[in-house]
Amino acid sequence: MIKLVATDIDGTLLQKDYTCPTGLMDFLRNLEEQGVKVVPVTGRMHRAAIKIYNLLQLKNPLVSYQGGQINSPDGKILYQKTLDKECVQKAIKWARENRIHLQVYYNDTLYAEQDNAFIQRYSREQNVPYEIVNFDDLNPEYASKMLAIDFNNPETVTGWVDELKEKFPQCFIVKSTPYFCEISHLQANKCDAVKFLQNYYGLKDEEVLTIGDQNNDIALLQAGGVRVAMGNATPELKEVATYITDNVENGGWIKAVEKFVNL
């Protein structure tokens, strides 16, 4: 019996326009009444993810920062993995030398060096504020994650991932959307976060369902006994899934959970 549904948010739980599919709120309440825990597992920063969490009226832990942070419902940090100062400085140097837009997440605040179209679009879509600083002045001792963005050329982002995996083997590097290259602690990934929760609740592998749509959800699916890819998922994610559901716009999340959760 499935007791934990660990789910991505964007393109999985929420539609591409960040709205809820028809019937989702009622379905979530039904799951809760049946004792099934629904835990969002997202690459979003905590201050952005908590808005979705509250909107959906969820009452279980929240996983943010690509798995780098887990908060209890009352806000207590249960798990946290951050980048050290050396990694942050090397990534900043790489971005500057290659004229790449880079964002740094420090103390749950979003920072960038240029107030350009990329940070403006990101801030608007994620509904979070940002601050423009010289990263040398910021001088963080740690960072929750860093994000390199190119909204114009997804293939460029793919190249960054390949390059940075070689340059930073001590980090977790992943393409989380066609436009985002994420840099985080090696253990700040969705698999390790879900495994932490599995142990936290004392669950068996077969009691955990994982579901997502992008390549950063490969790690998420690997943590589940039941591994579901959305119909709108990337080909790479579908390869590791045990089941492929419908698109997010057609209620694929609800259809998948209904199939595997005995309500």
- Please determine, for residue 263, whether its predicted confidence score (pLDDT) is greater than 80: no
Are 193 and 171 members of one domain?
A: no
pLDDT tens digits, 25-53: 999 999 999 999 999 999 999 999 999 99
Position 141 scores a pLDDT of: 83
Look at residues 147, 163, 185 and tell me which one is the last residue of a structural domain.
185
Are 64 and 193 members of one domain?
A: yes
Q: What is the mean pLDDT of residues 91-95?
A: 97
Tokens of residue 83, six digits: 């980048």
Position 16 scores a pLDDT of: 84
Position 140 scores a pLDDT of: 80
pLDDT tens digits, 214-223: 999 999 999 9
Q: Residue 232 is part of a domain; what is its CATH number?
A: 3.40.50.1000
- Domains contained in the chain, number: 2
CB neighbour class for 187 (10 Å; exposed up to 12, middle 13-18, buried from 19): middle
Averaged pLDDT score across all residues of the chain: 95
Tokens of residue 163, six digits: 């390059």
Position 238 scores a pLDDT of: 98
Which range of residues forms the domain containing residue 138?
A: 83-185
Q: What is the mean pLDDT of residues 165-193?
A: 95
Position 234 scores a pLDDT of: 96
Residue 262 pLDDT grade (very low, low, confident, very high; cuts 50, 70, 90): confident
- Please determine, for residue 120, whether its predicted confidence score (pLDDT) is greater than 90: yes
Answer yes or no: are the C-beta atoms of 135 and 117 closer than 8 Å. no
pLDDT tens digits, 98-107: 999 999 999 9
Answer yes or no: are the C-beta atoms of 79 and 70 closer than 8 Å. yes
Look at residues 185, 204, 235 and tell me which one is the last residue of a structural domain.
185
- Please determine, for residue 63, whether its predicted confidence score (pLDDT) is greater than 80: yes
Are 24 and 152 members of one domain?
A: no
Q: What is the mean pLDDT of residues 239-248?
A: 97
